[in-house]
Amino acid sequence: METSKDVYSKHRIIAVTSLKIMEFFGYKHLEEITVRRQDDKLYKFREGDFKRLRRKDIEDMLLLLVQGKLTNLNVDERFALNVALRMYTRRIVIQERVEDLQLAVESYQKKINLTKPDTYRSDISKKTPYTAYRDIQGIIYQDDMDRNRLMRTDELHKFSDGTLNHVRTSLNDIATGIQMEYLPKRKWTKQDKQRARVMIKAIDKKLKYRRLMRSLEKFVGGRPYRGDLRLLQRTI
């Protein structure tokens, strides 16, 4: 069951204050979860509302659990919350990573590995790197061999983190007006800087999503943790 109110919020969850548990056929269902967010307000929702929350909210609650910061809850409540969160997180990971033939769930790995990004255009070899391509929404960048290549916003999922970070760093230097030796010697126009910011925003969104998915996979992967878990690549 879901609550009748909208539970969506951009504020981070900083505490789980209370739980109400209903037990059916040996399974403990979270009837009501009360959390405190960064705006210092209380929010109430049910286990059925997990799919309406941001995935960042799921990560916040998992971090509070594994860091032992829910001492206000008793053992049964912490166990019930742990089971519910990990079951939901496992479902998210499966949907993203595994191809289910019966449900025709598209494989995340297929998106990345089976088709290469469309990086080549015959007319970009003499174009200025890190400028926008004229026909489609994309940026011309230089690869490791100093060749001009095309990065399209609708194909960011096909690029590695290293390539995305490399292009982002160059575009950020252009957008902020920093003169670097590796950048082409030219005066960057206001339009160049604006298009660079658009691509930076798209790259940041993709990298943040990948960090979040890796973090959730670690929570359900059974791997041991060491040190302060708040350093576990918290997405910002």
Q: Residue 100 above 50 pLDDT?
A: no
CA distance 2 to 220: 24
Can you say how many angstroms the Cα of residue 202 is from the centroid of all Cα atoms in its chain? 12
Sequence-ordered list of residues with C-beta below 8 angstroms from that of 172, at least 6 positions apart, any chain: 178, 196, 200
99 and 136: one domain? no
Q: pLDDT value at position 224?
A: 46
122 and 104: one domain? no
221: pLDDT confidence band, cut at 50, 70 and 90? low
Sequence-ordered list of residues with C-beta below 8 angstroms from that of 88, at least 6 positions apart, any chain: 50, 51, 58
Q: pLDDT value at position 202?
A: 93
Out of 75, 92, 108, a domain closes at: 108
Indicate whether 34 belongs to any domain.
Answer: yes
128 and 89: one domain? no
Indicate whether 230 belongs to any domain.
Answer: no
Indicate whether 82 belongs to any domain.
Answer: yes
Q: Which domain holds residue 30?
A: 13-108
101 and 119: one domain? no
Quote the number of domains for the chain. Answer: 2
Out of 80, 108, 136, a domain closes at: 108
- Percentage of the chain lying above the pLDDT 90 cut: 26
Backbone angles phi, psi at 178, to 5 degrees: -85, 125
Indicate whether 235 belongs to any domain.
Answer: no
Q: What is the pLDDT of residues 58-99, one digit of tens each?
A: 989 988 988 888 999 999 899 999 889 988 888 887 766 654
Of the two residues 217 and 106, the one the predictor is more confident about is 217
Q: Rounded to two decimals, what is the model's pTM?
A: 0.63
Q: Residue 18 above 50 pLDDT?
A: yes
Q: pLDDT value at position 171?
A: 92
Packing angle, helices 190-220 and 75-97, rounded to 10: 120
CA distances from 65 to 32, 79, 96, 185, 188 (A): 17, 9, 24, 52, 48
Of the two residues 64 and 216, the one the predictor is more confident about is 64
CB 171 within 8 A of CB 196: yes
Q: What is the pLDDT of residues 162-199, one digit of tens each?
A: 889 999 999 999 998 888 878 888 888 898 899 999 99
Q: Residue 234 above 60 pLDDT?
A: no
Indicate whether 232 belongs to any domain.
Answer: no
Q: What is the pLDDT of residues 105-139, one digit of tens each?
A: 344 444 444 467 778 888 888 888 888 887 668 89
